[in-house]
Structure 1
Amino acid sequence: MYQPHVFTLTEDGYRGPAPSWSSGAPSLWLVDPERAAEAARLLAPKILDASELARVERLAFPADRACYTAAHVALRLLLGARQGIAPEAVRLTRERCPSCDGPHGRPATGGGTHFSLSHTRGVALLAFAGVPVGVDVERLPEARVATEVAGHLHPAEAAELAALPCEERPAAFARVWTRKEAYLKGEGTGLAGGLHREHVGTGPRPLGPPGWAVTDVAVPAGYAAAVAVGTAGRASVGGADRRK
């Protein structure tokens, strides 16, 4: 399991280390939107671009606006620190989708840095690497939701969930969901790639699809998270990068 760095934001910005990695292992950062809310609100007009600011305004709930703002301010500050440029100068684009060739594949930027961002109300998680990477964080669902959605997963995963006591299903479902979405985001297809594809498992140890290493991430209680890193053409991710 990866232990992420904790991102600390002040009204003057971010003064910590830039994302760094070795052997393709990701650099992971956890953002607490509530703690960062005021600083992020003050920095956002100077750092975020017009499309990001417009997205904030379209969000209906203050908690969602605060989470999006903190996550995207942190993303630009960390990318800027990595690339040695001002955060507002970071150019964010989208790769072509590998499924339909549309302009909605993996998010990308210059400088050879691959990154992924995920946020849910109360937590944001960012991943950076030298190879394709995907990350996902989610709240643990109700047992009812886990049971209803299980049928959309890989048949082996659905069977694993069905075999568990009802009270264990939310945590197991959250594990498989975040692993699956992290992999699909890293691949560039997102949920359109289909939850039934690939068996990543619901148990304590994830299974990596061919060409990918999937690892759970330590996040606050009530949440689950995972990161997927491309391994094609190199050795699998080792254990030297902030694992516990």
Structure 2
Amino acid sequence: MYQPHVFTLPEDGYRGPAPRWPAGTASVWQVDTKRVARAARSLAPRILDASELARVEKLAFRADRDCYTAAHVALRLLLGARQGVGPEAVRLTRERCPSCDGPHGRPATDGGVHFSLSHTRDVALLAFADVPVGVDVERVPEARVVAEIAAQLHPAEAAELAELPQEGRPTAFARVWTRKEAYLKGEGIGLAGGLNREHVGTGPHPLDPPGWTLTDVAAPAGYAGAVAVRTAGRAPGEGRDPRK
């Protein structure tokens, strides 16, 4: 289980360390988007670009606007710290989709840093690496949601869930969902790749897809998280303290 860095944001802007990682691993950061919302709202007009600000305006609920704003402000501050530029100078683009060659593949930026971002209500995870990386965080779903979606998973995963007692299925489902989405985001295809692709497992330890390392990420109670790194080497944080 990877213990992420905790992102803090004072009112006058980020003054913390830049993301660092050994080759082939990831640096993962957790953002309490509710806690940093006020500071993020204040910084957003001079940090976020026009497309990000427009996306904020389209969100119907204040909590969703705050979550998106905090996550993207944190992303730009951390990327800027890594690249040695102001957060407003970070250029965010999209790679070509490996499935259809459309302009909606992995998010990318200048400077040789691969990154991934995921947010759900009140929590965001950000991952940075020198190789393609994907991250995901989700709320643990209600039992009825698990019953509706479980059949879409890999047959082995659906069978694993069916063998669990009812009360254990939501947590196990959240594990497999975040692992799968982190991997598919790392591939650059997202859930369009299909939930039945690859067997990553529902148990305490993920199964690595070919050419990838999957690691569960510690998340607040009621949430699950995972990170996927395209590498044949170590898992994130293996043999070291990921906070350093």
Task: Please tell me the TM-score bracket, short chain as reference.
Answer: over 0.9
> Which whole-Å CA distance do the structure 1 matches of 2:242 and 2:57 have between them?
37
Q: Give the aligned partner of residue 45 of structure 1.
A: 45
User: Are the equivalent residues in 1 in contact too, given 2:214–2:235 (CA < 8 A)?
Assistant: no
**1:199 is matched with which residue?**
199
Aligned length: 242
Q: 2:138 maps to what in 1?
A: 138
Gaps of 5+ in 2: none
CA distance in 2, matches of 1:103, 1:93: 9
3-state SS in 1 of match to 2:34:
helix
1:71 aligns with 71
User: Counterparts of 1:190 and 1:15 in 2: how far apart (Å)?
Assistant: 33
| C-alpha displacement of 1:243 | 5.6
Q: Is the 8 A contact 2:75 2:126 kept in 1?
A: yes
CA distance, structure 2, for counterparts of residue 241 and residue 121 of structure 1: 30
Alignment partner, residue 158 of structure 1: 158
Q: Structure 1 residues 72, 241: closer, same or farther in 2, change over 3 A?
A: farther
**Secondary structure at 2:35 match in 1:** helix
Letter of the aligned partner of 1:161 in structure 2?
Answer: L
1:88-108 per-position Cα deviation (integer Å, ceiling 9, x unaligned): 000000000000000000000
Does 2:121 correspond to 1:121? yes
1:4-153 superposed matches below 5 A: 4-153=4-153
CA distance, structure 2, for counterparts of residue 42 and residue 94 of structure 1: 27
What RMSD, in angstroms, separates the aligned Cα atoms of the two structures? 1.1
Instruction: Quote the Cα distance in structure 1 between the aligned partners of 2:240 and 2:126.
Output: 15
Cα contact 1:21–1:241 (8 A) shared by 2: no
Aligned mates of 1:224, 1:166 — CA distance in 2 = 18
Q: Does 1:211 align with 2:211?
A: yes
Q: What's the TM-score, normalizing by structure 1?
A: 0.97
> CA–CA distance in 1 between the matches of 2:41 and 2:51?
16
Sequence identity of aligned pairs in percent? 78
Kindly provide the CA deviation profile for residues 106-156 of structure 1, in whole angstroms up to 9, marking residues without a partner as x.
Answer: 000010000000000010110000100000000000011111100100000
Q: Deviations over 1:201-235 (max 9, x none)?
A: 0000000100000000001000000000001xx52
Query: 1: distance between equivalents of 2:144 and 2:233?
Result: 40
> d(CA) in 2 for partners of 1:9 and 1:45?
16
State how far apart, in whole Å, the 2-side matches of 1:235 and 1:72 are: 29
Q: Is the 8 A contact 1:2 1:216 kept in 2?
A: yes
SS at match of 2:102: coil
1:25 and 1:241 in contact (8 A); partners too: no
**Does the CA contact (< 8 Å) of 1:146 and 1:173 recur in 2?**
yes
Q: Distance in 1 between matches of 2:240 and 2:201?
A: 23
Q: Gaps (5+ residues) in structure 1?
A: none
Query: What residue number does 1:237 align with?
Result: 235
Quote the Cα distance in structure 1 between the aligned partners of 2:5 and 2:224: 16
Letter in 2 for 1:227: V
Give the letter for the 1:240 counterpart. Answer: G
1:241 CA displacement: 4.3
